[in-house]
Amino acid sequence: MSDVTRGRDRDRDEEGRARTARPRDGLGRPLPYGAEGVARQPEGVMRAPEETVTEAQALLDAGRPFHAHEVFEDAWKSGPDDERGLWRALAQLAVGLTHAARGNTAGGARLLRRGAAGLTTWRETTARPTPYGMDVSSLETWATTLAEKVETHAPTLDAATNAPRLRP
């Protein structure tokens, strides 16, 4: 381990938690300090559910599923208890797409399936098939179909081209 790595203080946020200040690429991978990355999603933002869906869709369409995951994670952590399963499952779908786009086929497929199962559980438990205009059944189908594609056909895939449509 180099002296720079061993002796350098970890990046910290205002609360003192370890947070990397390194720039990130569109798939959330850390880049070297000083490199030009994409704008990061601020964490801990409270959005209306409709705003969450709209912002996440824009990020997915731009090929930035890691950043969409951050938006869903904010809703998961700050939303009402009865919606946490929905937002957690959507975050898992975004992370699954992230891993698949990075070439991690096993992790991508696993997270896509986990997210689909979470959506199924949430839909069956709440009897709300179209929360905030999202067709949950279609998202479940998208996720399981993409998981199969990732496992059998593509070592990597384009995140924007394979992004889900959250609303029909």
DSSP symbols for 15-50: TS-B---S-B-TTS-B--TTS--BPPPPSS----HH
Model pLDDT, residue 28: 83
Query: What pLDDT score was predicted for residue 37?
Result: 81
In CATH terms, the superfamily for domain 49-152 is TTHA0068-like (1.10.3450.10)
Q: What pLDDT does 7 receive?
A: 39
The token pair at 75 is: 């809703």
Phi-psi region of 105 (alpha: psi -120 to 50; beta: other; left: phi over 0): alpha
The pLDDT score that the predictor gives to residue 5 is 43
What is the pLDDT at residue 2? 39
Measured between alpha carbons, how far is 66 from 59 in angstroms, rounded to an integer?
9
Domain with CATH 1.10.3450.10 in the chain: 49-152
Cβ burial 132-156 (10 Å sphere, 16+ → b, else e): bebbbebbbebbbebbebbbeebee
- Mark the ranges of the chain whose per-residue pLDDT is less than 70: 1-13, 16-20, 154
Output DSSP code: residue 149: H
Residue pLDDT, tens place only, 1-38: 333 443 355 666 677 665 667 888 888 888 888 888 88
| pLDDT attached to residue 23 | 85
Torsion of CA 36, 39, 42, 47, to 10 degrees: -170
C-alpha span between 163 and 94 (Å, rounded): 9
- Cβ contacts of residue 5 below 8 Å, gap of 6+? none
Q: What pTM was computed for the model?
A: 0.84
Residue with tokens 């499952």: 89
Give the pLDDT of residue 10: 60
